Amino acid sequence: MRFDTVIIGGGLAGLVAGISLQQAGRSTAIVSTGQNALHFFSGSFESMLEAPERLTALFAGAGIRVHYNPGFRLTPLGTFREAALSLEDISLFPEAKFADKALIACVPGYLDYFSAFLAEGLEKQGIQCRLCSLDLPEELQDGSVERRSVQLARLVDRDWKKIVQQIRLMIKDEDAVVLPQLCGLQDASVPEHLRQEIPARVVFAGTMPPSIPGIRTQRLLKRRYEVLGGTYLSGDEALEAQVEGNRIMSVRTRNLDVHALEASHFILASGSFFSKGLRSNPFRVWEPVFGADVSYAEDRNAWYNPEFAGDQPYMQFGVKTDAALHALVGGSPRENLYVIGSVLGGTRPEFGSGAGLAIRSAFAAVDQILESL
């Protein structure tokens, strides 16, 4: 199977690169093991302080609306974090006191949403809070059914009108309603419906992963990629590369067995340790597909900060690249292999971190591929 570009990794970086290349008329394939960092996406693009037209257009094409509003977002534990660019259903506030009075709705027995912390956090900003409970649909009354975000979101998407009715009955003089971020999984328009039908400012507060806006974003980006003709190989894993000189010729995957994926360009977007883009044992850290050089500390004692809250050195470990994002292997660049996203770790600080790193490095790699023939 031959493509123009083969991308290892189907997270934010891999999908942004894949969609951009497909739009430019290139044929691409994405090899994805399954879940990725989008499944615990906060909904705000960390380290993106601007709103590049190129990104908003790409997202709009996928049916994902984002908004740019430098300020703060509300975290699930009731604190506020700086953010500028978010998915549309993640509220951004110029200042943390976003209302005078808030009604905080919680779901009885759902433990992954922290109403007590939210109330305390908002009260600290001078927002008077009142808690109320939403009645659950019949099928979730049984305690033996675990209540997790995805399950609840399916029901909210179906029964959102009942939620609106309940809130309308409970609301008094509050000018804001805080709801758990449990809607818009299947139907992306539900958050907007809730906003329009509830007579107060609706603020969605995040829950424990899996993240509903994150899963939705992943699904819409993947669908857009496939609509543009991309080949998304889900549940497959890149195993090893065939190399000639300084060029990657093909990549073998677990499912395709002997049918290697051949391409002119390869993009490594395999994520960091969690996504297995980087692997480790007590003695070393390595990149498993191409054997690319990894920047890490030789002494394992220097991998960690004993303080949980401190910055962790191992999270800076990443694949080494030249200025043009070509992966280095044994010190020399592979001329058709580009490295993007969190597998870079902290080796390219100019691209930022988190979502910012994924998006900026993806565009940078795409530009180089499009410049070459």
Partner 1 sequence: MRDCAMRGLRVLLIERADIATGASGRNHGLLHSGARYAVNDPESAAECIVENKILRRIAAHCIEPTNGLFISLPEDDLSYQNTFVEACHKAGIGAEVLDPKEALRLEPSVNPELIGAVRVPDASVDPFRLCASNMLDAKLRGAQVRLRTEVTGFIREGDTIRGVHTRSVQTGRTADYYAPVVVNACGVWGQEVAQMAGVQVGMFPSKGALLIFAHRVNNMVINRCRKPSNADILVPGDTVCIIGTTSTRIPLENCHRVSVTPDEVTLLVTEGAKLTPALSETRILRAFAGVRPLVSDDNDPTGRNISRGIVCLDHETRDGLKGFVTITGGKLTTYRQMAEKATDVVCHKLGVNKVCETAITPLPGSEGRSYEELAREIWEAPSTAQKAATARLGSVVSEMPKRSRQDEALVCECEEVPVWEVNNAFERMGVSSLTDLRRRTRVGMGTCQGEFCACRAAGLLAKAQDCAERERADLLKFMGERWKGNFPIGWGESLREAEYTQWVYKHVLGL
Is residue 135 part of the contact set for partner 1 (CB under 8 A)?
A: no
Shortest spacing between CB 106 and partner 1, in angstroms: 10
Shortest spacing between CB 138 and partner 1, in angstroms: 12
Whole-angstrom Cα distance, residue 3 to residue 238?
Answer: 15
In this structure, which long-range contacts are made by residues 135-143, counting pairs with CB atoms below 8 Å and at least 24 apart in sequence?
A: 135/162, 135/166, 136/107, 136/108, 136/109, 137/162, 140/109, 143/109
Shortest spacing between CB 225 and partner 1, in angstroms: 24
Is residue 76 part of the contact set for partner 1 (CB under 8 A)?
A: yes
Of 27 and 353, nearer to partner 1 (C-beta) is: 353
Of 47 and 336, nearer to partner 1 (C-beta) is: 47
Encoded one letter per residue, x for contact with partner 1 by CB under 8 A and - for no contact, window 287-306 reads -------------xx-xx-x
Max CA distance (Å), the chain? 71
Is residue 11 part of the contact set for partner 1 (CB under 8 A)?
A: no
CA angle (73 as vertex; 69, 78 as ends), nearest 5: 160
Encoded one letter per residue, x for contact with partner 1 by CB under 8 A and - for no contact, window 309-348 reads x--x-xx---------------------------------
Closest by CA position to 218, among listed 67, 34, 362: 34
Rule CB under 8 A: choose which of 1, 57, 77, 227 binds partner 1: 77
Is residue 4 part of the contact set for partner 1 (CB under 8 A)?
A: no
Sheet holding 101-106, edge to edge: 128-133, 101-106, 176-180, 201-205
Rule CB under 8 A: choose which of 4, 88, 120, 262 binds partner 1: 120
CB neighbourhood size of 177 (10 A): 24
Of 28 and 316, nearer to partner 1 (C-beta) is: 316
SS3 205: strand
Task: Name, in order, each residue with C-beta under 8 angstroms of 244's C-beta and a sequence gap of 6 or more.
Answer: none
CB neighbourhood size of 159 (10 A): 13
Cβ 149 vs Cβ 213: under 8 Å? no
Closest by CA position to 277, among listed 15, 54, 12, 8: 8
Kindly indicate which of the ranges 57-65, 138-146, 229-237, 321-329 contains the residues binding partner 1, using the contact rule CB under 8 A.
138-146
Whole-angstrom Cα distance, residue 20 to residue 221?
Answer: 11
- 174-213 residues in contact with partner 1 (CB under 8 A) are 206, 208-209, 211
Rule CB under 8 A: choose which of 32, 115, 264, 361 binds partner 1: 115
Rule CB under 8 A: choose which of 32, 75, 91, 217 binds partner 1: 75
Q: How many residues bind partner 1 (CB under 8 A)?
A: 55
Residue 77 in tokens? 């534990």
Is residue 51 part of the contact set for partner 1 (CB under 8 A)?
A: no
Whole-angstrom Cα distance, residue 291 to residue 53?
Answer: 35
Rule CB under 8 A: choose which of 23, 117, 201, 220 binds partner 1: 117
Of 88 and 120, nearer to partner 1 (C-beta) is: 120
Shortest spacing between CB 131 and partner 1, in angstroms: 10
Rule CB under 8 A: choose which of 63, 70, 135, 141 binds partner 1: 141
CA angle (324 as vertex; 322, 330 as ends), nearest 5: 30
Residue 173 in tokens? 């003089």
**Contacts to partner 1 by CB under 8 A:** 37, 40, 42, 46, 75-81, 108-117, 119-121, 124, 141-144, 146-147, 206, 208-209, 211, 272-274, 276, 279-282, 300-301, 303-304, 306-309, 312, 314-315, 354
